[in-house]
Amino acid sequence: MVEQNNFVSALRHASGTAALAASGALAIGGALVGYGMLEAQKFGLRHETLKVLPRGYGDIKVLHLSDIHMVPGQEAKTQWLRSLADLRPDFVINTGDNLSHRKGVPALVKALEPLMAFPGAFVPGSNCYYAPKLKNPFKYLAPSTGTPSPASRDKLPFEEMHRAFGSAGWINMSNRAHSTVLNGLRLDLSGVDDPHLDLDHFAGWPRGSSSSNQAPHVRIALTHAPYQRVLDQFTEAQADVIFAGHTHGGQVCIPGYGALVSNCDLPTWRARGLTDWDYNGNTVPLNVSAGIGTSRFAPIRFACPPEAVLVTLAARG
């Protein structure tokens, strides 16, 4: 009888210990989620300088926006985006994934309205065309299984958004080349539609871009998702700088290590920031934004706060 009582007592003790451990794990998990939701609101501005302009030309300030993932009612994000107009950028580049809700266009336009007073260009991402879905986050850790196949019911009103951008003078660079003049310098732009949906087609550079008798120019490439095939094309074609988004910087990172995923075939150590992309003897600066928002189904960030990027293009030495 004594042995039986001791056995029952041991079971009760083990059960209590397990319950405490489970409660502790839940508490830690809840705290991490709470912190992640808080960090997702810690909007910041990263500054970079690139010496890519012809000698003798003044600086050009390019504001790089990406992955806004707008949802109605996101007032903190809206006010922060509006405040970026105080930077007085010379040019705005938007690399897609602007929406996370089918009713998000009015809120997005309100947020970007002061910035649309400046010249700009954009390319779409998958979450400009289709709404995000609730999914198991661990799927992002698995290798890519190919191009996503969103259903028509998930379609977002991207035409309305593109009309608003176009009315403000922003240039749609989806599979297109275009030249514009800024501060006496010719900007040669080339962009692709979203590679994550396999919609990309490199259109080359505008006519006359490589002719020495044309106005001095700088070649700027835009893509939403920085798949290697796209970066290789831009680099082989001798872009001066590439702008991309999509990765969210990994979104949930390990301090001291960095991103676990890039959601494409880009190496994870390149998932955020300014690096050099090398291909076929050419080297091009690649700026990957960690993005401003998240899917509304995963509104957390960890060790990877949201950002816009102010890139100052300066003259070569």
Question: pTM for the whole thing?
Answer: 0.88
pLDDT at 138: 52
Identify the H or E element spanning 63: strand 60-65
Q: Which DSSP state fits 87?
A: G
Edge-first strand order for the sheet with 282-288 is: 176-182, 185-191, 217-222, 241-244, 282-288, 273-279
CA distances from 40 to 71, 174, 310 (A): 14, 29, 20
Consecutive 10-residue averages of pLDDT for the chain (317 residues): 54 53 48 77 98 96 98 97 98 98 97 98 97 69 61 86 98 98 95 97 90 76 98 98 98 94 97 98 98 94 97 95
Phi, psi of 194 (to 5 degrees): -60, 115
